[in-house]
Copies of this chain bind each other. A is one copy, B any other.
Amino acid sequence: MLFFTQCFGAVLDLIHLRFQHYKAKRVFSAAGQLVCVVNPTHSLKYVSNRHAVGQTSTEQGSLHSHHPLETVHDPQLIPCMCPLFSCQWEGHVEVVVSHLRQTHRINILHGAEIVFLATDMHLPAPTDWIIMHSCLGHYFLLVIRKQEKYEGHPQFFATMMLIGTPTQADNFTYRLELNRNQRRLKWEATPRSVLECVDSVISDGDCLVLNTSLAQLFSDNGSLAIGIAITVSKVHAAEAEM
């Protein structure tokens, strides 16, 4: 009898999961899009000296200013810190992907268009939702951060960074799209390089910013579905055609 009850429970769980998956797929109508469920990774503990580094890079003018270390001949050998705020790791750009995968257990998705489903949006700030995205011959890092810039008023910041140099990043355009409750919000920009700190991008506010009420309007059962698309930017596509 206990066996049958457990079987019945398992079947119910499967139906529930199938329903959740169906709901997630339904959010974006384009056929064949990959839906990736992303759980919050960790609450970040802000380290004061890393913060100072982030602020300094902002002051230097992070609006796609070329990184001084880009003079290194092979871009893969440029020294790079872990883009996650809580981590003190340092290495070369070429090994950032394996560091993020192995140490932080961040998944890699493949395909130019995917749907990122961030769960448990109600968790207190600071919280991060992170995935890596492999397409067009590069790796990209998508970060959604819940943070209280103004005490008691958490906001969501979403940005995409290229795991590569600012010059490489300039070749691409990324799009983040929210679509629910008869509302649609689209953000398109050139990805920033992972050589700039994620935190400086967020403190600049140069990313998709959502206040809590808007995040609630776009979320379904505490999960926020964000459609992601990466393309080669038009200027560079035109140059390639010439």
Contact = CB atoms under 8 A, between A and B. Distances in A.
A211 interface: yes
A184 B183 contact: no
Contact of A184 (B150, B189, B211): B189
A175 B188 CA distance: 15
A234 to B, nearest CB: 10
Contact of A153 (B150, B173, B206, B217): B150
Interface string A211-223: 1111001000000
B186 A184 contact: yes
A182 interface: yes
Given A184-B187, A184-B188, A187-B184, A205 B209 contact: no
Contacts of A150: 150, 153
Given A150-B153, A184-B188, A185-B187, 9 more contacts: A150-B150, A182-B189, A182-B190, A183-B188, A184-B189, A185-B185, A185-B186, A205-B211, A205-B212
21 contacts: A63-B181, A149-B153, A150-B150, A182-B189, A182-B190, A183-B187, A183-B188, A183-B189, A183-B190, A184-B187, A184-B188, A184-B189, A185-B186, A185-B187, A185-B188, A204-B213, A205-B211, A205-B212, A206-B213, A206-B217, A209-B211
